[in-house]
Structure 1
Amino acid sequence: MDTNMQIIRVDETQWQAVTDDAVVGHGDFSPRPAPDGRRYVSIDVWDDAAFAPLAAAMLTALPAPLRTLVAGDDAALASHWERAGFVPERQEWEYVLSTAGRDPRPAPGVAVLPAGTADEARLRLLDREIRAEVEASSGWYSMPAEVRPGPPGDTLIDPSLYAVAVHEGRYAGLVRVVRTGRGPARIGLLAVRAAHQRQGIGRSLLAHALHALHETGTSTARAEVDRSRTAATALLEGFGAERTGHLLHLVHP
């Protein structure tokens, strides 16, 4: 570390690296809401020598585990984080989809309840069941979906964001769409219960979501998929999704 460099904690979430009264880097902490519990840090430097001391100061002050996101083509930044003790956790493809020309008719035997029309109690139960199934298999960390805090062991559900697929009389799958101002909407979560998979439910939900967005004047939607989830990748690419990049998720245990 440059002996003239100082690491200053500006507030609860920000640090600065200062050399000769000039700021040469800063670090930021962005806690995610429980029960997701993931906490993210980021560092931006104008002097590479500032990265390691900033990372060390943040790691000392903040509770583990900490995570960060790096563009998949930014090998230099990934190397900085790895030297600070972070290890790759997963990689995520980024996609953009056109909403035009989608046939909203669901697969035979499947009905889709538009966003805001599902029974909230049954939707909450479906959400808990899907989370438990994912956690028992690939792990919920592999799903690029934020959650909001709710009662212990539960999450808050806003029915206006979720369309639900009904199959054999049961709530079988859901898709959550988040609108982000004037930018593309985001397919924040698409999941189907294990007992109802391979029935065209995922395709029905995605087609419905894209058609609904098109009807309200939204021309594109974005989505992120863990590279290990081949079925989800195939679904998006089957809809003509354009791969725009990928993200590397790193964690400091």
Structure 2
Amino acid sequence: MESTEQTGSTVISRVADHQWHALEDDLVVGRGEAWRRHDGRLFLGIDVWRDALFGPLVEAVLAGLPRPLYTVVDEADADLVSRWEHAGFTAARRERVYIVPTDPQVTGLGTVRPPSGVTLLPFGAPQRDPLRELDRAVRDEVGASVGWQEMPAEVLPRLDDAVVTDPTKYTVAQESGRYVGLLRLAPVPRQPRIGLLAVRADCWRRGVARALLAEVLGSLHASGAESVSAEVGERNEAALALFESVGAERAGGNVEMVLR
């Protein structure tokens, strides 16, 4: 698919189904892209060489896409937030970015143990089928409460989709042969990222999440990693309290914006 429109000396072309280029003298001076996330929502990204190109480029992108549309902006970038607002987007969700220490002397997690009857399976030990079952259960519970859109953007597709599950990224809590909680660690360069920490609803308030966090942070500390990053939705009060209780420091935040 290709379409072109002229805006002054700038030519904006739709070069692929979800990609746009802004051209001046046949040189790319801006790019627009749309991509569908695992929950089915369509997100946008705009990158321009000059601020004045943002408006024409985003207008061209919006003209070719259905609603609703989403984007994520660093909360500290007030100018960019304002540009998206001018395009009709409004804030829908806010997410805090934390840096979490791994040293048990700092986190206070050195003496934390799993609840009675719960054992922890370290990275690589979980089995795929029970892991898929736990993933489905957690997603159904979240979907029935706050909604899966409240989960971090880094969360993978459902494990029962056509996706290769890598057990080396998961630490799992098990009770009576049933998986009841998981922590997924994303191996991001320079600093690992906690992509998901979740516990079955019938096991909440027993210390399972804290035990998983203690296991993973302690393992990372032993391997030489001083900290990890994590993103937590501002509406997730339990997760905010858990991370802040172990010495996590806020390092910024993101604003998820929507055009309906």
TM-score, normalised with respect to structure 1: 0.87
Aligned position for 2:180: 172
Matched, 1:131 2:139: yes
CA contact (8 A) 1:28 1:42 kept: yes
Within the candidate set 144, 147, 152, 2:156 is matched to: 147
Which amino acid in the other structure matches residue 221 of structure 2?
A: H
Q: Which moved more, 1:55-64 or 1:236-245?
A: 55-64
CA contact (8 A) 1:167 1:196 kept: no
Q: What displacement does 1:239 show?
A: 0.8
Matched, 1:26 2:34: no
- Identity rate, percent: 44
For 1:182-221, list aligned pairs within 5 A.
183-221=190-228
CA contact (8 A) 1:177 1:186 kept: yes
Residue segments in structure 1 that go unaligned for 5+ positions in a row: none
- Change over 3 Å in CA distance of 1:218–1:108 after alignment to 2: same
CA contact (8 A) 2:185 2:192 kept: yes
Aligned position for 2:12: 7
Q: Distance in 2 between matches of 1:22 and 1:146?
A: 36
Aligned position for 1:116: 124
Aligned position for 2:74: 71
Which amino acid in the other structure matches residue 58 of structure 2?
A: A
SS at match of 1:107: coil
Which amino acid in the other structure matches residue 209 of structure 1?
A: V
CA contact (8 A) 1:148 1:156 kept: no
Aligned position for 2:238: 231
Aligned position for 2:165: 157
Q: What displacement does 1:12 show?
A: 4.4
Q: Distance in 2 between matches of 1:251 and 1:143?
A: 16
- Aligned CA-pair RMSD: 2.4
For 1:85-104, list aligned pairs within 5 A.
85-101=88-104, 102-103=109-110
Q: Distance in 2 between matches of 1:104 and 1:64?
A: 50
Q: Which moved more, 1:108-117 or 1:184-193?
A: 108-117
Residue segments in structure 2 that go unaligned for 5+ positions in a row: 1-5
- Change over 3 Å in CA distance of 1:170–1:27 after alignment to 2: same
Matched, 1:247 2:247: no
Q: What displacement does 1:25 show?
A: 3.1
Q: Distance in 2 between matches of 1:239 and 1:150?
A: 29
Aligned position for 1:37: 40
Q: Distance in 1 between matches of 2:258 and 2:175?
A: 38
